[in-house]
Amino acid sequence: MSERREGFIPNPVLAGLVGICPLIAVSRNLAEAAAYGLGSAFCAIVLGAVAPPLRSVVADRLQAPALLALSASLALVYAFCVLLYSPAIAAGLWVYLPLLAVSGLSLSALRRSASSLGRFGPDGQSRLGAITLEALLFLLTATLVGSARELIGLGTLTLPVPGLSPARLVFADAAPLGILVSPAGGFIFLGFVVAAYRAIVGAGGRKSP
C-alpha cells in the first residue's frame, strides 16, 4: 500500500476481505454475528494497545509465542464472558470463539502494531487509532450482515439478550429466502455487498485495496 493510501482505513471485510470465512459461518443471525464482531474488535484493540510495549520488554525470539499466548488468552476470556452471558450464543459460535485468537482481524492488529512507520503513520494517524477504526468497522459489518441475512432469509431477528434462549422477533411466518442463511447464500449475499461497497468507494475517488 502506498503512502498516499496508507491513511485511508477501509472496511476490513468489504475492502480487505479480512476474516470473511468465519464471518460467513457465524453471521446466520443478528445475535451470533454481533457477538463474533464484538469479540474480534475486543481482541484486535487490546492486542494493538499491548503488543508494542510487550515487544519492547520481550526478547525477539520469544515475541511470537508471547503474542500468540496473549491473543489466545484474550479469546479465552471473551469466550467465557459470552458463555456466562448467553450459553445459546456461545453454543452457536462454537469453535469460532477460541479461533478469535488467530482471526484475520487479530493478525492485522499485530501487523499494524509492528509497523515500521513508528507510532504515527505518514498522515499523523496513530496505529492504535487505525486498529480501533478497523475493529469497529468489522463489528458494524458483522452486525449488519448478520441482521440482513436473518431478516431476508428467515424473516426473523435474534436479539443478543442474556440467558439460555435469545429473544427472537418474527416478521414472517415462512422463510422468505432461506438460502441466505446457508454458507453458499452467505457468500453470494456478501459478494453483492462487497460490490456495492467498492462501487461507493470508487465513486468517492478512493481505491479499495
Helix (H, G, I), strand (E, B) or coil at 97: coil
Q: How far apart are the C-alpha atoms of 155 and 177, rounded to whole Å?
A: 8
Q: Which cell is 209 given?
A: 485495496
Q: How far apart are the C-alpha atoms of 44 and 42, rounded to whole Å?
A: 6
Q: Are 158 and 33 in contact (CB under 8 A)?
A: no
* Residues 118-140 as b or e (16 or more Cβ within 10 Å = b): eeebeeebebbebbbebbbbbbe
Range of the domain at 27: 10-203
pLDDT given at position 115: 61
pLDDT in tens, 7-48: 444 555 544 555 677 888 888 889 999 999 999 999 989 988
- Please choose, from the candidates 120, 80, 126, the residue with its C-alpha nearest in 3D space to the C-alpha of residue 100: 80
**Residue 208, in any domain of the structure:** no
**Residue 29, in any domain of the structure:** yes
The one-character DSSP state at 127 is H
List, in order, residues 6 or more apart from 206 with CB less than 8 Å away.
Answer: 5, 8
**Residue 45, in any domain of the structure:** yes
Q: How far apart are the C-alpha atoms of 5 and 83, rounded to whole Å?
A: 40
Q: Which cell is 80 given?
A: 467465557
**Residue 57, in any domain of the structure:** yes
Name residues of the chain where pLDDT drops below 50. 1-9, 14-15, 116-124
**Residue 129, in any domain of the structure:** yes
Helix ranges, the chain (H): 3-6, 20-26, 30-57, 60-85, 87-93, 104-113, 127-154, 183-203
**Residue 167, in any domain of the structure:** yes
pLDDT given at position 34: 94
Q: Are 22 and 99 in contact (CB under 8 A)?
A: yes
Q: How far apart are the C-alpha atoms of 88 and 38, rounded to whole Å?
A: 16
**Residue 1, in any domain of the structure:** no
**Residue 143, in any domain of the structure:** yes
pLDDT given at position 116: 46
| Number of domains observed in the structure of the chain | 1
pLDDT given at position 30: 92
Q: Are 106 and 49 in contact (CB under 8 A)?
A: no
Task: State the Rg of the chain over Cα.
Answer: 18
